[in-house]
Structure 1
Amino acid sequence: MKALIRVNTYHATKPQPLRNVPIYTPSIIAVQSGRKILKWHDDALTFNKKNWLVIPANQQLTFVNEPHQAQFNSVQISFLSPPSEGIMSAIDNHNHKYNHNLQHIERPLIATDTALDFVFSQLIAIVKQKLSIEVQQHYLNGFYQQLLEIGALHLLFPASTLSMREKVSRYLSTNPADHHSIETTCKHFATSKATLTRHLAKEDALFRDVLAEVRMLHGLSLMQQYSYTQLELALRCGYQSESRFGQRFHQQFGITPKQYMKTVMKPTMRNIA
């Protein structure tokens, strides 16, 4: 059964400084213990149990995950299906009506309340069920409606269409370790190499960089699940060279795989999606 959302959990027992972490699908990150300090332009935003980090697609985040009493835990929901056309078309009208809620429109932060916490928990719960796409979309639209009513849906979906970078990232992320080439990717999208390259260039992206980012993010997720050797990580991320994987990981995140592993607690639960 196709899932319309993806849920990942992240843990740490020591501070995790990470830079340029790619977000290639609209996502909400909820910190459950500890705090996340996000570098946002010239500001530093703090996220804890009382607020969510709401990020649209095609962003790169630089942050530090700071444990409290040796515990940092967060949940990230990635949204793979957009709101219904009716909800999307209502964004402009609703924002005009509730413009008093939009004084911090550019900050990717919304305060939580019991209603938001409830619908968020419902989304996490449906991942564990074998539900049809129609039923999943029903739950999603309810969540989107709740964000719309507080004037925050635009933070998650500022555009109604997917960018080429987002489309390519989603395709590559289904099997990051596969032998992906620009030719096979073009075949999947039924387009030419020149056309794909041109569309990515308009978004300041190169195919090889998009592929590397997807694989590096997959590496982070793997390390949250199990204590792999660096060679095992490299192979599971589509690299034949351990050293090349390590170099690319450090270039992306500003930390080596071994350094990152030292910050990760032995998880009591694995990623559930």
Structure 2
Amino acid sequence: MIHSVANTDWQLASTAPLLRRGLCSLAQPLVSQTQRASRFVFAEPTIQLIVSGQLDLSTVHHHITMPASDALLFIQPHTCADIGNFRSIFLSISHSVVETLPRGFANTQTTQSISKSDSPFSTLALDADLSSALQYVISAIEDSQMSEARLRLRLQDLLMALAEKGNTFHNGNPETTTAKLRAMISEEPSKHWTAQSAGKALAMSPATLRRRLAEENTRFEHLLVDIRMHHAMMLFQTTNWHLSRIAEACGYRSTVRFNERFQERFGAVV
């Protein structure tokens, strides 16, 4: 549970990321020293509350410096950006939850204004209503006994509260093979994934999988490494786990090999 509405007191019960498959993920990144992650992909709709320090978020055409404040950072899905050091509440919501919001809830004017905006992120004040809705969601995620159906309703309530204030997520879940593969592997990054096992899970042959990925300018091996390195970055920022444990959680038995991949992806040695 979060102990206080005051921004400086926001604290999750667990430092390790919490994943509720098919619904959302919750984490509290804490970067204690200067560190930048280049080309970090926010694959799903994401909401962040900066608790301390400041978040520097940069894309090719947009930049924002977000200090700790009573405001939420609203990040559109598939935003690829460079990020700096901060401590925050990090909530990613599954596309399937966003897509099941009641039709017509967000008025046409709001939907059009968001869809026409080319900014991949925006900010909004964290008033009492949003603060309550966010705490309600977080308490549900942290409660392992909370049913999937009830958690889904709480997430939808938060999304509707955001929509009432003019903030909606665009359709970030195109029916591409890359998007489906990223979503599937992200839920089990430690699994021994191969083109054969991934293709079988997506009801296609390895050859078909590779062909469709090639049509989307993606290779299976490159996507697999990228997903695992994103997971590694989150674990480094949210846990005190030993390097070998993080490597294992990302599907690597060799810490040397894992370190090489991490350096290649983010330009930093761990």
The amino acid of 1:167's aligned partner reads K
Corresponding residue to 1:221 among 221, 234, 248? 234
Q: How far apart in 2 are the matches of 1:206 and 1:32?
A: 37
2:197 aligned with 1:189: no
Given candidates 127, 138, 152, the residue that maps to 1:137 is 152
CA distance in 2, matches of 1:96, 1:43: 21
Map residues 33-182 of structure 1 onto 2, 5 A cutoff.
33-48=52-67, 49-65=69-85, 72-80=86-94, 81-83=96-98, 85=100, 87=102, 89-91=104-106, 93-95=108-110, 99=113, 106-114=119-127, 115-129=129-143, 130-154=145-169, 157-159=170-172, 161-182=174-195
> Match of 2:97, SS?
coil
The offset of 1:10, in angstroms, is: 0.7
Counterparts of 1:161 and 1:18, CA distance in 2: 25
| CA RMSD of superposed structures (Å) | 2.7
Compared with structure 1, are the counterparts of its residues 244 and 51 closer, same or farther at alpha carbon in structure 2 (3 Å cutoff)? same
> Do 1:22 and 1:213's aligned partners in 2 also have CA atoms closer than 8 Å?
no
> Quick one: which of 200, 211, 220 aligns to 2:213?
200
Evaluate the alpha carbon distance shift between residue 96 and residue 235 of structure 1 in structure 2; reply closer, same or farther with a 3 A threshold.
closer
Amino acid of the structure 2 residue aligned with 1:8: A
CA distance in 1, matches of 2:246, 2:30: 18
2:47 matched to which residue of 1? Answer: 28
The TM-score normalised by the length of structure 2 is 0.79
- Equivalent residue pairs, number: 246
- Cα separation, 2, equivalents of 1:19 and 1:254: 8
Distance 1:7 1:86, change over 3 A: closer
Question: Partner residue of 1:261?
Answer: none
Which residue number in structure 1 is paired with residue 4 of structure 2?
none
Higher relative contact order (CA 8 A, sep 6+): 1
**Gaps spanning 5+ residues in structure 2: where?**
1-18
Judged with a 3 Å threshold, the aligned counterparts in structure 2 of structure 1 residues 107 and 186 are, in CA distance, closer, same or farther, namely closer
**Contact (CA 8 Å) 2:28, 2:87: kept in 1 or not?**
yes
**What one-letter code is carried by the residue in structure 2 that aligns with 1:199?**
R
* Superposed counterparts of 1:213-252, under 5 Å: 213-223=226-236, 224-229=238-243, 231-252=244-265
More displaced, 119-128 or 165-174?
A: 165-174
User: TM-score when scaled to structure 1?
Assistant: 0.78
Stretch of structure 1 that moved more, 177-186 or 215-224: 215-224
d(CA) in 2 for partners of 1:236, 1:245:
11
Quote the offset at 1:35 in angstroms: 0.5
Partner SS, residue 60 of structure 1 = strand
Contact 2:247 2:258 in 1 (8 A): yes
CA pair 94-118 structure 1, distance change in 2 beyond 3 A: farther
